[in-house]
Amino acid sequence: MSTIRNEYPRPQFVRKEWLNLNGEWDFAFDDENRGLKDKWYKEFPQSMKIIVPFAYQTVKSGINDHRFHDIVWYRRTFTVSEDWLDQELILHFGAVDYKSWVYINGELVTYHEGGNTPFSANITPHYNKNGDNEIVVRVEDPSEDVTIPRGKQYWHEQSASIFYTRTTGIWQPVWLEPVSEQKLEGVRFTPDIDRGDIIIEYDVPKDMALSIKTTISYGDQVLVEEESRVLESYMKRSYNLRNRFTDRSNIHDDGWYWTPENPNLFDVNIKLVRQGDVLDSVDTYFGMRKVSIENGKFKLNNKPYYQKLVLDQGYFPGALLTAPTDDDLKQDILLSKEMGFNGARKHQKVEDPRYLYWADKLGFLVWGEMANCSEYSEEAVRRMLTEWVNVVKRDYNHPSVIVWVPLNESWGISRVAHEKQQQDHATSMYYLTKSIDTTRPVLSNEGWEHTISDICGIHNYKSADHIKKSYETIESAIKTEPANRMIYAEGYEYRGEPILITEYGGIAYQVDEQDGWGYSSVKSSEGLVEEYRKVTEAIYQSDILQGFCYTQLTDVEQEINGLLTYNREPKCNLEEIKKINDQKK
């Protein structure tokens, strides 16, 4: 059986032993919803094949069917190493869109709702130690339900406008790992660069016979090696790193902080130990960096920092939301940096953790954004906040993630400008995020119609001349309504937060047979560079703007306003784009 995506899927919580379950699975549509009645989880029907983790709508899946199929089933068998049989087995799913029922050998082991976040199941009581084991997954993804957090996935069969082909079912890796019954459940890193501390929170079994051994390294130098007795299931330690360097030159001139220019990372190994025996061992890492807003200025590590971002939808030809390879995720960052961008807004997509790993390693800022619903309801609110909490929890440790965006452009809150209920929802998402992460700025409603936000993000696709005039002063910026939308919702006002143009440009240039659209258009690669120069330099001329996000990195389906084609081929001289971006330091 062929396999794909062979890298470990969870790079911030790595265990050495695991089994990759990507590759060929049996697959069936269940358009008549017969599978439960006919017990497909016990007797799987005659079926086609699919390559996991690609959705059936993709070429890479081997199916490539864009029609509505709201219920689908998966099946495959597996065996495990004999060395694993005395341990617990945990089955992991990176993401499955939208509702999932997972069966092992005919028994239901877990249910999960949410298309953007990971989930796991302890399958130990259900697996067969003496032979093959069977996994069956049933998935429901109501194609036309606009109260599901679906981001850019369209609720019609054919993509159009700013919406793209849907993703149904498994779209991130599936894997299995053996663990001790007593294991490390989680770890959370909070850097404090002002004191030189790293604060570590551990989620462990409460057992006074256990201890936690923590080793922190920077390059070849071990900075911390400490063993602590487990007294509670929640443990918290703070280690001062500044005074532990034997080579003091490492800490001068901010040389050990994490930045896009110098993405310094500290390696960590955490062991759970009982009487000298290692029960669990996890490798992870963190970066020492601080994001703050002081006196209306956005700062990285206590210094003003100009953000030069690119809008990145995270779609891939023939694969949609799923990157075909780990190198594809890495390459998108490298191409962005080659053009002089220092970060990306991951637009309407909760990105694969491997992307964030490469952003951490390569030095690339990321605005983490939730895939939004399209319409408002109380059920939509429940769905949004439940998943969003898990998104923030999953990605908290990534130093590259510097801003949270739970809502974008009034999606799912179309009446937020004047309606108090939807304003309360936007504000509650702001405060909910702040209640679980005090270290990052949050926007209540990116683009316009803000309630309370730490950054005033404005979307403006108008001309360079318009931008020059509109952003001469804070007063003119707040008064301008580039999409006929108020920058602040009724009853709310500007409170001194940094102002950024977080979508602009969108210049279309058709280089192949693909028809499409943009917010403006040019006829040549030289024209693309020149228009990019005009509108970006107009932003630079504003004394009040502290950064930008250009739309967009690549073409996506019918949108041809990328600096790269959908296949990641440059549409212009990337060195010229870099020269323009490098004008602003």
Above 70 in pLDDT, residue 58?
yes
Kindly tell me the burial class for residue 466, based on how many C-beta atoms sit within 10 Å of its own C-beta (0-12, 13-18, 19 or more): middle
High-pLDDT (> 90) share of the chain, %: 91
> Would you state the pLDDT for residue 81?
87
**pLDDT, mean of residues 446-455:** 97
CB 54 within 8 A of CB 60: yes
Question: Quick one: CATH architecture of 186-286?
Answer: Sandwich (2.60)
The token pair at 402 is 């510097």
pLDDT value for 251: 60
For the domain made up of 291-581, give the CATH fold. TIM Barrel (3.20.20)
pLDDT at 1: 33
* Stretch 233-246: mean pLDDT: 86
Q: Phi and psi (nearest 5°) for 305? A: -135, 125
Q: Which amino acid is at 347?
A: H
Mean pLDDT calculated for residue range 416-424: 97
Phi, psi (deg, nearest 5) at residue 327: -60, -30
Mean pLDDT confidence for 240-251: 72
pLDDT of residue 515: 84
Whether residue 248 is predicted with pLDDT greater than 60 in this model: the reply is no
Contacts of 161 (CB under 8 A, 6+ apart): 558
* CA dist 469 → 126, 476, 496, 504 (Å): 66, 8, 20, 15
Structure tokens at 21: 């379950």
Q: Give me the mean pLDDT over the 23-39 stretch.
A: 97
Residue carrying structure tokens 């709508």: 57
pLDDT digits (tens, 9 = 90+) for 536-555: 999 999 999 999 999 999 99
Residue 456 three-state SS: strand
Query: What is the three-class DSSP state of 402?
Result: strand
Helix and strand counts by DSSP (H, E) for the chain: 8, 31
Strand partners of residue 556: 559
With a cut of 50, say whether residue 115 has pLDDT above it. yes
As annotated, the residues of the chain forming the CATH 2.60.120.260 domain(s) are 19-179
**pLDDT score for 246:** 64
Following CA atoms 96, 98, 99, 102 in sequence, which dihedral angle do they give, to the nearest 10 degrees? -20
Q: How confident is the model at residue 514 (pLDDT cuts 50, 70, 90)?
A: confident
Give the model's pLDDT for residue 3: 44
**SS3 state of residue 472:** coil
Report if pTM > 0.85: yes
Structure tokens at 360: 């951490």
Span of 48-52, 480-484, 536-540 with lowest mean pLDDT: 480-484
Instruction: Tally the C-alpha atoms within 13 A of residue 354's C-alpha that lie toward its C-beta.
Output: 21
Indicate whether 279 pLDDT > 90.
yes
Closest CA to 64 of 55, 75, 73: 55
Q: Is the peptide bond before 98 cis (omega within 30 degrees of 0)?
A: yes
Q: What is the pLDDT of residue 151?
A: 95
Residues 19-179, CATH architecture: Sandwich (2.60)
Q: Is the pLDDT of residue 253 over 70?
A: no
Q: Which of 565, 554, 466, 461 is closest to 503 using CA atoms?
A: 461
Per-residue burial over 338-349, b = 16 or more CB atoms within 10 Å of its CB, e = otherwise: ebbbbbbbbbbb
CA 540, chain centre distance (Å): 29
- 268-297 burial: b if 16+ Cβ within 10 Å, else e: bbbbbbeeeeebbbbbbbbbbbbbbeeeee
Which DSSP string do the residues of 119-136 spell out, in sequence order? EEEE-GGG--TTS-EEEE
Q: CA-CA-CA-CA torsion for 277, 280, 284, 289, nearest 10 degrees?
A: -80
pLDDT digits (tens, 9 = 90+) for 316-370: 999 999 999 999 999 999 999 999 999 999 999 999 999 999 999 999 999 999 9
Q: What is the pLDDT, as a whole number, of residue 250?
A: 59
Q: What is the pLDDT of residue 244?
A: 76
Q: Is the CB of residue 276 less than 8 Å from the CB of residue 213?
A: no
Is residue 245's pLDDT more than 80?
A: no
Residue 409 pLDDT level (bands cut at 50, 70, 90): very high
| pLDDT, mean of residues 556-575 | 96
